[in-house]
């Protein structure tokens, strides 16, 4: 398991534990009896939001690394419409056929 995946799991576990404990204690009214902690509920909420944001950042980075491994020589392209994507695919097919002599090859099984 990669470091980013481990970090993401730890961040999610900490987020769930802190969020669950704070939500449960606040719901039961336990935090109302503890003055110094009841005043820090907004700070704990911000902590949870920052942990969630960190988790998203880590998962985005690990996803980017995954695609880099999956497509080592490729790139991800964004097309404005279907026509652009079809033209790009057609150019790729033509370049592969030119490179490997697609017109002169016999069909598979034939």
pLDDT at 1: 52
pLDDT of residue 108: 54
How far is 75 from 103, CA to CA, in rounded Å? 27
Residuewise pLDDT in 10s, the chain (110 residues): 577 778 778 888 888 888 888 888 888 888 788 887 777 878 888 888 888 888 888 777 777 777 777 776 666 677 888 899 899 889 888 888 888 776 555 555 54
Report domain extents, the chain.
Answer: 3-73, 74-104
Hey, what are 52's tokens?
Answer: 């969630």
- pLDDT for the residue numbered 76: 67
Distance CA(54)–CA(47), nearest Å, equals 10
């Amino acid at each position: 398991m990669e470091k980013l995946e481990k970090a993401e799991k730890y961040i999610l576990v900490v987020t769930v534990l802190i969020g669950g404990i704070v939500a449960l204690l606040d719901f039961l009214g336990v935090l109302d009896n503890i003055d110094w902690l009841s005043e820090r509920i907004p700070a704990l909420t911000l902590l949870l939001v920052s942990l969630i944001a960190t988790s998203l950042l880590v998962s985005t980075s690990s996803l980017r690394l995954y695609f880099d491994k999956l497509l080592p020589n490729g790139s991800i392209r964004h097309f404005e419409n279907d026509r652009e994507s079809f033209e790009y695919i057609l150019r790729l097919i033509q370049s592969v056929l030119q490179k490997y002599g697609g017109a002169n090859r016999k069909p598979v099984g034939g």
